[in-house]
Amino acid sequence: MSRRAGALILLLAGSAAPLAGEPVSGYQLLSPEMQEMQDDEFTNPGMLTVEAGRELFSQPGLNGQACADCHGADGERINPGRIAAYPIYDQERQQVLTLRAQIDACRDERLEEFPEPYESQDLLALETFVRYLARGEPVQVDIQGPLAEHFERGRELFETRLGQFNFSCAHCHQVYPGFRLRSQTLSQGHSNAFPAYRITPGRVVGLHRKFIDCFITLRAEPYPVGSQEFIDLEVYSTARGNGLPIETPGIRR
C-alpha cells in the first residue's frame, strides 16, 4: 500500500459505523440545515438552474418549435416514470442514452437545433428541469437486455483501483459509507440527487462532472464528460440506487 493510500485510510479512522443493507440516499447524511435547504424551493440554489431550464423548455428552436409544444408549457405531459428509467438502451440508435443525451437528440430531431457538447450549460439546465419534474419518483433503471452489458462494465469501473491512492469508487461507497472523510460523511454514492447543487464549487453539476471530481480526489486521470466509460458508470451507479426517490436538484458537498 502506498503512503498516500495509508494516509487516506487514517482520515477514515475513528468514524461512525458504516451504512449497510438497502440503498440509502445521501440526503440522510446531510446536516439538518442542508436538508432544509434542499427541501425548501425558495432556499435551494439549484432552483435557479431549474428555472433556467424551464425557460429553455419553452424557447423555440430553429424551426420555431419548442420542447413545450410536445410536452406542455411546464412539462405536464412528461411521464415521471419514464424520466426515472434513464439511462435506457435505445434500440433504434443501438446505444445507451442518458437523459441528457435524449434531450439533445430531441432538440436535434424535433427542433432542428445543432447538437450541443455534452457539458453544455443549456443541456445541464434542461436536464435539471426535466429531472425536477420527476422529483419523488423512485429510480427504476431496467438493466435487462442490452443495458446489462453496460451495467457490468460500469460495475467493473466502479470496483477498479485508480490513481495514486490506489482506491476504487467501491472503497468509499461500498466499504466505507457512513465514515467521515475530512469534513464530510461518505455516502453510498447514489445518483438520485443529480444534477445537484454542490456546496464546494457553488453551482449545479451533472453526474459526470461529479465523477471527474472523484477521480481527481483519487489522483486518477478522469475520462471525458460524456465518454462511454462514464455513461457505463452512470448506468451502474443509477441502477444500484433503484427505488430511491429522485431529489433533483439535490444539495451535496
**Catalytic residue ranges:** 214
Q: How far apart are CA 172 and CA 21, in angstroms?
A: 16
Q: How far apart are CA 153 and CA 236, in angstroms?
A: 8
Q: Which residue in this structure is represented by grid cell 461518505?
A: 186
Which of these, 172, 200, 166, lies nearest to 188 by C-alpha position? 172
**C-alpha triplet 132, 89, 93: angle, nearest 5°:** 110
Question: Going along the chain, which residue ranges are E strands?
Answer: 88-90, 95-97, 180-181, 184-185, 196-198, 203-205, 250-252
**3: helix, coil or strand?**
helix
Q: What are the backbone angles phi and psi of residue 90, rounded to the nearest 5°?
A: -90, 110
